[in-house]
């Protein structure tokens, strides 16, 4: 049975879910998700002898949501992770991240390699720091209408996503692509005929309830720091990730086009121990194919 509690760290109150005893495994969700995206993994990992902790990260769920956009830099997000590890009485952790959580996990391995004994990136591989600001790169590659660029103006995406939260999650989680995309993030999708097999009405209602309460601004502010993060991490250019690393990706995930597993990625991850391509799976990896993802996680964790 999972236990819920709040911890005070790095200037915020953070909501965490925890279960089990043993080596610490930290599960970091992506956007737009919360701890709940790991619901299928928590029981299995704890039953296998691990202490599993899944936080609502800064700006999400029942965790604090600072007002300032600048309060969501990669240094704040990694700082939250390191402070949480120490708050839990631990020195090292196997950190697993999906989507934006993968970016936080991999940056933790870059900025604080001493606390990471193993790294699992789900959906998004470690991203090398490039020669240009990220928003310049995405505009050049995908145009000004690319969703990450669209997210940059405070208030715009919030208004769209919060207008009908249930519709937002039906569109995003079902992922039925609009053959003639319109402006904004939701314009990428069309209303599905039914929810995907992996998503129950109860699951949908949980996300709707969480984001109706929290709004979307906190998570969107992570995107609004992408260029700032690039500017402030010059000193870590080309620093390798030395921790043993696993990369898991859905074969049908459109993010594989945005963030491919290139030679440049492999160059900064010299201890890449495995790449798992999950069949019949799009972006919501650990929710869509929980058994395969959990099995891959356990196989990797046992090898640490």
Question: In this predicted model, what pLDDT tens digit does every residue of 177-224 receive, in sequence order?
Answer: 999 888 889 999 999 999 999 999 999 999 999 999 999 999 999 999
Q: How far apart are CA 169 and CA 187, in angstroms?
A: 13
Q: Give the CATH number of the domain where residue 135 resides.
A: 3.40.50.1820
pTM above 0.75, yes or no: yes
Measured distance CA(300)–CA(80) in Å, rounded: 25
- 283 carries an active-site annotation: yes
Q: What's the confidence (pLDDT) of residue 81?
A: 98
Q: Please identify which of the residues 99, 164, 197, 203 carries the catalytic annotation.
A: 99
Domain span at residue 18 reads 3-302
Residues of the chain with pLDDT under 70: none
Model pLDDT for residues 41-69, shown as the tens digit of each residue:
999 999 999 999 999 999 999 999 999 99
Into how many domains does the chain fold?
Answer: 1
Compute the radius of gyration of the chain from its Cα atoms: 18
Query: Using CA atoms, how far apart are residues 181 and 184, in angstroms rounded to an integer?
Result: 9
Q: Strands 116-122 and 245-250: what pairing?
A: parallel
pLDDT score at 182? 84
What pLDDT is recorded for position 183? 82
What is the spatial distance between Cα 236 and Cα 8, in angstroms, rounded to a whole number?
29
Give the pLDDT score at 264: 93
Question: What is the separation of C-alpha 162 from the centre of its chain, rounded to a whole number of angstroms?
Answer: 20
């Amino acid at each position: 049975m999972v236990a819920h509690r709040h911890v005070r760290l790095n200037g915020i109150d953070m909501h965490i879910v925890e279960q089990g005893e043993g080596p610490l495994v930290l599960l970091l969700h992506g956007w737009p998700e919360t701890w709940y995206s790991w619901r299928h993994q928590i029981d299995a990992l704890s039953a296998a002898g691990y202490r599993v902790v899944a936080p609502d990260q800064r700006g999400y769920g029942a965790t604090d949501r600072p007002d300032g956009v600048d309060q969501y830099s990669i240094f704040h997000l990694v700082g939250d992770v390191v402070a949480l590890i120490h708050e839990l009485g631990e020195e090292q952790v196997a950190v697993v991240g999906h989507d934006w959580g993968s970016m936080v996990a991999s940056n933790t391995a870059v900025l604080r390699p001493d606390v990471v004994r193993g790294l699992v990136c789900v959906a998004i591989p470690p991203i090398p720091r490039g020669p240009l600001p990220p928003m310049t790169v995405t505009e050049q590659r995908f145009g000004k209408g690319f969703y990450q660029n669209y997210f940059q103006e405070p208030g715009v995406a919030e208004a769209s996503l919060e207008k009908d939260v249930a519709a937002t999650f039906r569109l995003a989680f079902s992922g039925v692509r609009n053959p003639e995309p319109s402006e904004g993030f939701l314009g990428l999708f069309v209303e599905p005929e039914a929810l995907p097999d992996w998503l129950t009405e109860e699951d949908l209602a949980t996300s709707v309830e969480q984001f109706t309460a929290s709004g979307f601004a906190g998570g969107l502010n992570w995107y609004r720091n992408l260029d700032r993060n690039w500017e402030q991490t010059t000193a870590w250019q080309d620093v390798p990730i030395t921790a043993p690393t696993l990369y898991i990706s859905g074969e049908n995930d459109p993010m594989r086009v945005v963030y491919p597993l290139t030679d440049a990625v492999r160059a900064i991850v010299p201890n890449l121990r495995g790449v798992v391509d999950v069949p019949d799976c799009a972006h919501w990896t650990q929710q869509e194919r929980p058994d395969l993802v959990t099995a891959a996680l356990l196989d990797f964790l046992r090898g640490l």
